[in-house]
Amino acid sequence: MAGLRPSNIDMSLVNYCITLATEYFPGLEGMIWIVEPHWLVKPMMTMALKFAPQSMSDRFKYVSKKDAISRIGADFLPESMGGRMTNKIVRHQDALEFDEFVQKYDLSPAVVKKIKAKYDV
């Protein structure tokens, strides 16, 4: 974020994200915590949230890592935030095996090749 400046912000994208959040998640409960943001994020968010409904802008809160750990717990925060949660993917018990997935959705060999290369399947 070294070269981040207010002129880099695409306000139409910000407006789109706010509209998307309010349209598709009208009943979003709770707070949206921004943990130790870059110094420029807070004024940008303040400016962007002027376009959002008051009910949405009231949900944003800036917190420190220490505060996040004390409220959420280290077991539920990633290591980058001072927590102990690893990035291991937990497979759901009903998830399809890769070959079953390919058959069910009739994926082309080209798509299968791309998936295998990208995700090391």
Structural domains in the chain?
1-87 (3.40.525.10), 89-121 (no CATH)
Nearest to 60 by CA among 19, 38, 28, 85: 28
- Residue 96's pLDDT band, with cuts at 50, 70 and 90, is confident
Question: Does 31 have pLDDT greater than 80?
Answer: no
Is residue 22 exposed (0-12), middle (13-18) or buried (19+ Cβ within 10 Å)?
middle
Residue 91: pLDDT band (50, 70, 90) is low
Average pLDDT over residues 57-83: 84
Kindly report the average pLDDT of the chain as a whole number. Answer: 77
pLDDT(5) > 70: no
